[in-house]
Amino acid sequence: MRQKWQLIIFGLIHILIFTIIFNSNLYVGEGNHGAALYFNYSTRVIALGQLPYQDFAVEYPPLALIFFTVPRLITANPATYANIFAIEILLFNLLGLFLISALARRLNLSLWKTLTIYTLALLAIGPIIARRYDLIPAIMVLLALYAFCQGKHKTSWALLAVGVMTKLYPVILAPIFLLYHWRHRQNRQAIVGVATFVITTVAIVVPCLLLSPDGFWNSITYHAQRGLQCESTYSSFLLLGQTLGLTSLEIEFSFGSYNLSSPLADILARVSPLLILFSLVAVYWFFHKNQGGRAVVQQTLSPINQPDTARIVNYSIIAILAFMLTSKVLSPQFIIWLYPLIPLIAWRWRLISWLMFIMIGLMTYFIYPVAYGGIIEGDPIPLVIGMLVLRNLSLIILAFLLPYVDNQPQPDLAR
């Protein structure tokens, strides 16, 4: 009963944050930039009868358009659309609250501490979480992890596919699922899981390919053609070099973001896919090596034990961090991908990791939208560039903290 009331209280707090605090003068708003773009897409579908990929270019996977369209079915007013879209995000945030509470019990974590971190992280990230759709795939990742740790492997693989068809990044968790299956000799579960993932993905992709093969593939190649976005790890150090007079850069707007242009920036943009691959392979290798000593064969679909659940959550965070840090794009909303997972860190470094993520959220908010002009203007402001470098260094430190774990998660007796 006590845990139920804790969940209700935190749910009410999150409703208050979304509906009042995010709309107050406490935050410098970014406006409705994200919601305006989603409104434009959904208006083309609802009002003009156009088909995505065929009649207009889309940079998002198919299921994202469904979440963009739902608020447009209710209203044709852009401002009202933004508010309804924020309510849609709030509902996913509350679903995250419930899932985190369930996983916290499995990990023997204090519920009030876990939900407090979830709440503080929300406040640190700020209103951008209600204006961009990135929380939706982040909660789908959380759903997939929850189902997987409950032993519901087919469901988890299907949910992972749904997440990929909403925003592509959840695919990086698939090798973690596979390595767990392989370690525990769950060959049948692995085959069925991958088949479920493929069937679910194909069922979503085929209608889009029938509409317009070129339009659909362009939505994927669009991201491959992007330049070195100015907030990426690479860009932060190049901008620091420019501030110190060591190099010269140009900043241009293309592909919906501000990107760096220089010979070195262009080289880094080209090699970033290889660095992504290398970093992810390293993460998967460490996950495999740290799954414990002798494997326990589990042929039945029983819930995963506490240490393995904690390990899967930890390495899912590390994989997402590795992808973010080596990608040529690190938009501010990417921080939201980590937001539902950080409270579930169950190892001895969890307190430091929690505090570090809250600081990362605050620094990201300072960079965008508060001081973004200090990066994209012709003569970037050193203070803002320094904050960007510090934010990215903090993400790197967080990624290196998480693999160093004890053999068992630390119990949290304060319930």
At residue 297 the predicted structure's pLDDT band, cuts being 50, 70 and 90, is low
Per-residue pLDDT reduced to its tens digit, 196-224: 999 999 999 999 999 899 989 998 888 88
Q: Which pLDDT score, from 0 to 100, does residue 296 have?
A: 54
Q: What angle do CA 96, 97, 102 make, to 5 degrees?
A: 95
At 413, is the pLDDT very low, low, confident or very high (cuts 50, 70, 90)? Answer: very low
Residue 98 falls inside a structural domain: yes
CA dist., res. 252 & res. 260, Å (int): 6
* Domain, as residue range, for 305: 2-401
Give the C-alpha separation, 336 to 349, whole Å. 21
277, part of any domain:
yes
Tell me which of 15-29, 148-162, 381-395 is least confident.
15-29
pLDDT score of 338 more than 80: yes
C-alpha 30/C-alpha 378 separation (Å) is 21
Tell me if 410 is assigned to some domain. no
Q: Quick one: what percent of the chain has pLDDT higher than 90?
A: 75
Whether residue 390 is contained in a domain is answered as yes
In a domain, 305, yes or no: yes
Whether 415 maps to a domain, the answer reads no
Q: Is the pLDDT of residue 112 over 90?
A: yes
The overall average pLDDT reported for the chain is 91
pLDDT exceeding 70 applies to what percent of the chain? 93
User: What would the two tokens of residue 131 be?
Assistant: 């204006």
Residue range 339-352, pLDDT digits in tens: 999 999 987 788 99
DSSP 292-330: -SSPPP--S-PPPPHHHHHHHHHHHHHHHHHHHHHSS--
Number of alpha carbons in the 13 Å side-chain half-sphere of residue 96: 33
Residue 190's pLDDT band, with cuts at 50, 70 and 90, is very high
Which residues, at least 6 apart from 182, have a Cβ–Cβ distance to it below 8 Å? 190
Task: State the Cα–Cα distance between residues 167 and 144, nearest whole angstrom.
Answer: 14
pLDDT of residue 295: 53
Q: Sign of torsion, CA 146 148 151 153?
A: positive
pLDDT digits (tens, 9 = 90+) for 352-373: 999 999 999 999 999 999 999 8
Which whole number is the average pLDDT over 128-151? Answer: 96
**How many domains does the chain divide into?**
1
Asked if the structure places residue 407 within a domain, the reply is no
How does 311-328 read in b/e, with b if 16+ C-beta sit within 10 Å? bbbbbbbbbbbbbbbbbb
Residue 359 within any structural domain of the chain: yes
Res. 293: pLDDT tops 70: no
Q: What is the pLDDT of residue 412?
A: 61
**Quick count: other Cβ atoms within 10 Å of Cβ 64?**
21
**What's the average model confidence in pLDDT over 126-139?**
96
